[in-house]
Amino acid sequence: MSLLNNYLSAEKSLAEIHTTETASNEALQKTIRNIKNDYYDQIRTLEQERDRKIDDEQEAYDTNITRLKSEVPILNATIKEVKNIFSMMTIAIDGFTVEAPKLYEYSNRDASGNYINPSRKVYFNPIQSIREDDYSNIQLYIVPNKKPTNKYSLILAGNFPLFRCEPGRNFRFYGYGTPAHDEGCDIKLILKEAPSEETLTEYVTKNLKKILEKVPNKELDEYIQTYETARVYLQNDTWKIAYYEDQKYYYENHYSHGTDTPEYKNILKTLKNLQQKSKKHD
């Protein structure tokens, strides 16, 4: 009987435990819901405050970056202007000569018409000078081309050494049947093609003003102005120090084994002398 009584007692206790557990869980879930409800508005308010602060920081960042970026074009323009002056300083230091443009074709005949090998260069004479000064030499040429109908081309060709301040800078035309070779002309434009030299000569006579408009005079004059500015700045030690500092940086960072070159050693020597001279004047 004792075991049976224990059995009945155990069943009753287990039932009571289950009931208590269920009731306790229901009470817990209710309490949790109440806690969540109590804190929902506070959490929402804090989240809104958090998001507002994040938005304010992002807006301040965007405003600052926009302001900074707006300065970039002005800064780049200043850097480009000074770099161009430095390049012109190099040209002024090295010096330059303005040669007449040289256009030519290859011929396997000598002046008497005899066959020769290898071929020789036959140079074309200009038909008219377009611009000649201390900085440029631009001429008009009529040369044969390889086209079947319009067999002759009117070419504006010239040299402008100041283009060297920007490597690769020139006014040139490349394409099928580009007539005549040249010895490194800075300017080479095909203006017109026609069946005969006479037709092109007549065109030049009637349209010289239009041809002159093809010459990039405004840009050439801007280069000249920059060059003359550079020549003036070469008389200023502050500018000269900045120039040689730029040259030093170039040989150290953009020229393979640049610090081993005699040019680099000359730059260091010149820079040192200029800096010592500047200290004496301070």
**In angstroms, how far is the first alpha carbon of the chain from the final one?**
119
Residue 47 pLDDT greater than 50, yes or no: yes
Strand partners, 115: 109
The beta strand positions in the chain, using DSSP E, are: 103-109, 115-123, 128-132, 137-144, 152-159, 171-172, 181-182, 187-194
| Dihedral (CA of 123, 126, 129, 130) sign | negative
Residue 80's alpha-carbon distances to 76, 85, 220, 271, in angstroms, are 6, 9, 17, 22
**pLDDT per residue over 159-190, tens digit each?**
999 987 776 555 554 444 557 888 888 888 89
| 255: amino acid identity, one letter | Y
Tell me the average pLDDT across 137-149.
Answer: 93
**pLDDT per residue over 208-257, tens digit each?**
999 999 898 999 999 999 999 999 999 999 999 999 999 999 999 999 99
pLDDT interval class at 122 (50, 70, 90): very high
Name the token pair of 276.
């010592």
